[in-house]
Amino acid sequence: MKFVTYSGDKYTDIECNSHQTETEIEISGCNLSLSNQLQEQIYTNNYSIGHTYKLNKTTKYEFLHYLIDFKDENQHNDSFQTYIRILSILFPNSTRICEMPSPKTPNYTILNILYERNYLIYPCGIIDTRETVKAILT
């Protein structure tokens, strides 16, 4: 799967692998390229994101004002943010709803992640739990 955005002198390219099972869609192995043009110079940063995102096919996902804040392991200057203004994912047999932010805290959701680590992310937790991010031991 591939996402590309242009905004004036900025360009973002995200390419990820995806795998589908009977109950879930797994998104992993994402490579991100960020480009910014200042005057005549083009600056590009490339990142490899080790996270695995899992979406359950019995869940409808509604993400509004969802900010993913990626930082490097040492908390230096190499960080970036991904902002999702509106994203709705509806599977044919959805019986649950995952809303981010939760209607109980309606402003926005911030997910802080170290991009050099491998995390397993279930946006609203594994079914019947509240866990959303779990480190994968490799």
pLDDT of residue 75: 62
> Which single residue is written with the structure tokens 């002198």?
9
pLDDT of residue 25: 93
Instruction: Give 34: exposed, middle or buried? Use CB within 10 Å, 0-12, 13-18, 19+.
Output: middle
pLDDT of residue 134: 45
Q: Kindly report the length of the chain.
A: 138
Quote the tokens at residue 103: 């209607």
CB 57 within 8 A of CB 23: yes
Handedness of CA 121, 136, 12, 81 (dihedral sign): positive
pLDDT of residue 131: 45
CA pair distance 130, 132, nearest whole angstrom: 6
From 66, 43, 77, select the one nearest 112 (Cα to Cα). Answer: 66
pLDDT of residue 55: 92
pLDDT of residue 105: 63
Can you list the residues of the chain whose pLDDT is less than 70?
75-77, 102-106, 126-138
